[in-house]
């Protein structure tokens, strides 16, 4: 029992802590903590110092929170404990990020790092615009979905008249519903929707605009192509992990146990998150950590576009028609909140996140 509690209380906080700690290395070197800097400033001692301070604070304070949460979890044995630890970790990471960003931005303005530099934008006109969809990598998610549907169809006639749809933090059922297709297969419908979502993301992700380095356009384009070719495959495998978690949760509803253990259910998804983290560390944002052939640097730097980035996290540029742009602190892409299409899509997504659980429940 203690081992299950330790597994449950450690997985999510440790993954979050590890992600936060490595994120400065995952981000492109020219946007430390969301601040655009010229290539010659990438190794500036001030930036290196801010990385050290950020990692020291996140590592020490975050580790203390994880250990404290583990002790409390073993004593009180509540599923809510790791959730509270995750929230507390965010309260540690956010101030550390804000502080590092503020120091770098202040030095950049004070010393006018972009004075006399030629700022340009580079586009990869030779990039394949419609790369093939990696169908084979979608098979695991589709197989898990098919197996869940088949199991549900077989189990449905023998299900009890009343199904437990929700459990308390201690694992006891606290919400039930009469047996019906909606109550029995609600999670399967969510599973199918997420499968479609991951397939769509895997299809469109390589088509998003890359963030290339005008000083070394060929090398950075090659990095991005490798990144864009691998990430869709990983997204599809992550979708399979999420599907497996949902399949395990659906099995809990169909078997109607007196209590449940959350750790085995969420374990596949956490494994998928760990895989994404390994990918992020290996590739870096946009493939920035990948090795490339030597290329003579050109007399050009990326455009200083900090004014369009709120906090280095939210991109708001009404003059930019792109819906998705590469993240500055993290892996993958984020929405352009200055684009009406992006805003509409974000509203629809939030509405779906709020509505679906209510309908299923």
Over residues 158-170, mean pLDDT: 71
pTM strictly above 0.85: no
pLDDT at 233: 94
Of 173 and 250, which is predicted with more confidence?
A: 250
Contacts of 51 (CB under 8 A, 6+ apart): 24, 32, 100
Query: What span, in angstroms and rounded, lies between the C-alpha atoms of 38 and 301?
Result: 6
22: left (phi over 0), alpha (psi -120 to 50) or beta: alpha
pLDDT at 6: 45
pLDDT at 260: 65
Is the confidence at residue 163, as pLDDT, over 80?
no
Decide: 40 and 302 in contact? Cβ < 8 Å. no
Of 261 and 337, which is predicted with more confidence?
A: 337
DSSP class of 111: H
pLDDT-derived band of residue 121, with 50, 70 and 90 as boundaries? confident
Over residues 303-320, mean pLDDT: 91
Is the confidence at residue 247, as pLDDT, over 90?
yes
SS3 call for 54: helix
- Going through the chain in order, the beta strands assigned E by DSSP cover 119-120, 162-167, 173-178, 301-302, 309-310, 314-315, 324-326, 333-335
Q: H/E element holding 21?
A: helix 2-26
DSSP class of 28: -
- Length of the chain in terms of residues written: 361
Is the confidence at residue 10, as pLDDT, over 90?
no
Task: Please state the φ and ψ torsions of residue 339, each to the nearest 5 degrees.
Answer: -100, 125
**DSSP string spanning 184-228?**
HHHHHHHHHHHHHHHHHHHHHGGGSPP---TTSHHHHHHHHHHHH
C-alpha torsion 356→88→324→317, nearest 10: 120
Is the confidence at residue 2, as pLDDT, over 50?
no
Rounded to the nearest integer, the mean pLDDT of the chain is 84
Query: What span, in angstroms and rounded, lies between the C-alpha atoms of 140 and 138?
Result: 6
Decide: 260 and 252 in contact? Cβ < 8 Å. yes
Among the residue ranges 38-42, 176-180, 243-247, 349-353, the one predicted with the least confidence is 349-353
| Angstrom distances, CA of residue 237 to CA of 144, 182, 200, 208, 262 | 11, 27, 13, 20, 22
Q: Cα 310 from chain centroid?
A: 19
**Which two three-digit tokens encode residue 197?**
């979502």
pLDDT digits (tens, 9 = 90+) for 36-93: 999 889 999 999 999 999 999 999 999 998 888 777 766 666 656 677 888 888 999 9
Is the confidence at residue 7, as pLDDT, over 60?
no
Contacts of 217 (CB under 8 A, 6+ apart): 122, 124, 298
Q: What angle do CA 320, 322, 325 make, to 5 degrees?
A: 105
Query: What span, in angstroms and rounded, lies between the C-alpha atoms of 228 and 194?
Result: 21
Is the confidence at residue 5, as pLDDT, over 50?
no
**Which two three-digit tokens encode residue 36?**
């655009």
pLDDT-derived band of residue 4, with 50, 70 and 90 as boundaries? very low
Beta bridge partners of 310: 314
**Which two three-digit tokens encode residue 61?**
């304070």
């Amino acid at each position: 029992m203690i081992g299950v509690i330790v597994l449950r209380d450690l997985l999510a906080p440790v993954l979050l802590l590890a992600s936060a700690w490595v994120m400065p290395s995952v981000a492109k070197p020219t946007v430390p903590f969301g601040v655009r800097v010229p290539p010659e400033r990438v190794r500036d001692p001030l930036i290196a110092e801010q990385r050290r301070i950020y990692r020291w604070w996140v590592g020490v304070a975050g580790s203390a929170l994880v250990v404290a949460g583990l002790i409390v979890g073993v004593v009180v044995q509540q599923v809510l404990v790791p959730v509270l630890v995750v929230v507390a970790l965010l309260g540690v990471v956010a101030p550390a990020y804000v502080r590092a960003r503020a120091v770098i931005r202040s030095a950049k303005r004070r010393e006018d790092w972009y004075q006399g530099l030629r700022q340009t934008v580079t586009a990869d006109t030779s990039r394949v615009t419609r790369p093939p969809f990696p169908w084979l990598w979608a098979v695991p998610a589709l197989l898990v979905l098919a197996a869940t549907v088949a199991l549900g169809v077989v189990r449905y006639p023998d299900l009890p008249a009343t199904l437990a749809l929700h459990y308390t933090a201690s694992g006891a059922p606290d919400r039930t519903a009469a047996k019906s297709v909606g109550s029995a297969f609600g999670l399967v419908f969510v599973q199918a929707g997420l499968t479609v979502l991951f397939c769509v993301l895997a299809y469109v992700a390589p088509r998003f605009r890359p963030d290339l380095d005008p000083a070394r356009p060929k090398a950075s384009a090659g990095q991005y192509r490798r990144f864009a070719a691998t990430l869709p495959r990983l997204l599809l495998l992550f979708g399979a992990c999420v599907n497996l978690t949902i399949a395990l949760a659906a099995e809990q509803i169909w078997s109607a146990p007196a209590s449940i253990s959350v750790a085995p259910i969420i374990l596949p998804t956490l494994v998928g998150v760990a895989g994404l983290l390994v990918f992020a560390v290996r590739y870096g944002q946009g493939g920035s950590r990948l090795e490339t052939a030597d290329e003579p640097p050109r007399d050009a730097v990326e455009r200083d576009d900090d004014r369009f980035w709120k906090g280095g996290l939210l991109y708001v540029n009404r003059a930019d028609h792109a819906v998705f742009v590469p993240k500055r602190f993290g892996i993958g892409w984020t929405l352009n909140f200055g684009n009406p299409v992006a805003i509409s899509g974000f509203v629809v997504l939030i509405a779906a996140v709020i509505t679906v659980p209510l309908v299923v429940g």
